[in-house]
Amino acid sequence: MKNIQWSGGVEHWTKKGDIKLFLWEKPASSKVSPAGTILFVHGSSMASQPTFDLHVPGRPYSSVMDWFAERGFNTWCMDNEGYGRSDKHRPINFDIANGADDLAAGSDYILKKTGDSGLFVYGISSGALKAALFAQQHPERVARLALDAFVWTGEGSPTLQERKKKLADFISKNRRPIDRAFVHSIFNRDHPGTADENTIEAFADAILTLDDSMPTGTYVDMCSKLPLVDPKRIASPTIMLRGEYDGIAAMADLIDFFNRLPNMDKQFSVMAGISHASFQQKNYLAVYHILHGFFSMPELSYKG
């Protein structure tokens, strides 16, 4: 396994009570007009830097943070408690609600640093659940919300049906081991071929540099406690991103959630040729463009 070194960013730390939380910033390019601040939220089985600041030789802009920074966005990510560089010592399973509390602490720190009135928040998989719950609890901090590989009730999800077979094991402990084979399974379970081998290997290297186990809390929540979010209580403009082959959330489940969102400044985008980990797919640049279009939307002059 390679020893991954992240560069070109700024390391930050904040606290949630006495818990230390790691944040990573890639500042906006000074060559373009300021476009706002994005907070990227990671999923169940990897920390933030491998997901959002991945570098793969021969793959331009593998780092979504670099891509958006060049277009004028201040870009941030953070490791939830129990992941990566953040504290892991508490004897808990670090569930969705705990992750939303992390985002409250992290967003408070970021907003004080940047002076922004609100953040563009992107979450993927269980990170989308954390982001949605955070937006529900702190609507004043979320200017725009992007939910990728989201799940609402879990109905019709083949991935969650398989995962439920191990629910008793997940409930019995606070962490689950991961290895290179597990990282490969993320890309093979839905539709093999949507990501290239070099990217998968680089992703595995980056993940395993920081962690050899992951919390069980998000798995327990997604298998036994859904729904965790009330769409009617999400006030921010929202885009829902769904990979064509993603096995986490059924289309009907997501459309039902989408229809209940009260803010009519909302979008639903199906990403062709994408399975679950959209930024690590062969079609990743298309995902960036979809997200950029939503985050760069001009302020609406007429709202009815």
What is the tens place of the pLDDT at every residue in 121-145?
999 999 999 999 999 999 999 999 9
Element spanning 192, H or E: none
CA dihedral 10, 128, 43, 18 (to 10 degrees): 60
Confidence (pLDDT) at 189:
93
Confidence (pLDDT) at 1:
47
- Yes or no: say if 288 and 67 are a contact pair by the CB < 8 Å rule: yes
Domain range summary for the chain, segments of one domain joined by + = 10-295
What is the tens place of the pLDDT at every residue in 139-169?
999 999 999 999 999 999 999 999 999 999 9
What is the tens place of the pLDDT at every residue in 243-298?
999 999 899 999 999 999 999 999 999 999 999 999 999 999 999 999 999 999 99
Q: Report how far Cα 53 is from the mean position of its chain's Cα atoms.
A: 12
**What distances in angstroms separate CA 239 from CA 3, 40, 79, 102, 149, one per listed residue?**
36, 14, 23, 22, 11
Residue-averaged pLDDT of the chain: 96
Helix 197-210, helix 180-188: angle, nearest 10: 140
What is the tens place of the pLDDT at every residue in 68-91?
999 999 999 999 999 999 999 999
Confidence (pLDDT) at 220:
98
What is the tens place of the pLDDT at every residue in 180-198?
999 999 999 999 999 999 9
What single DSSP character describes residue 31?
A: T
Average pLDDT over residues 116-123: 97
The CATH number fitting domain 10-295, selected from 3.40.50.1820, 3.40.50.1220, 3.40.50.10490, 3.20.20.70? 3.40.50.1820
CA distance 100 to 163: 23
Q: Place 6 in a pLDDT band, splitting at 50, 70 and 90.
A: confident
Confidence (pLDDT) at 3:
62
Tell me, what amino acid is at 140? E
For residue 218, give the nearest of 106, 95, 118 by alpha carbon: 95
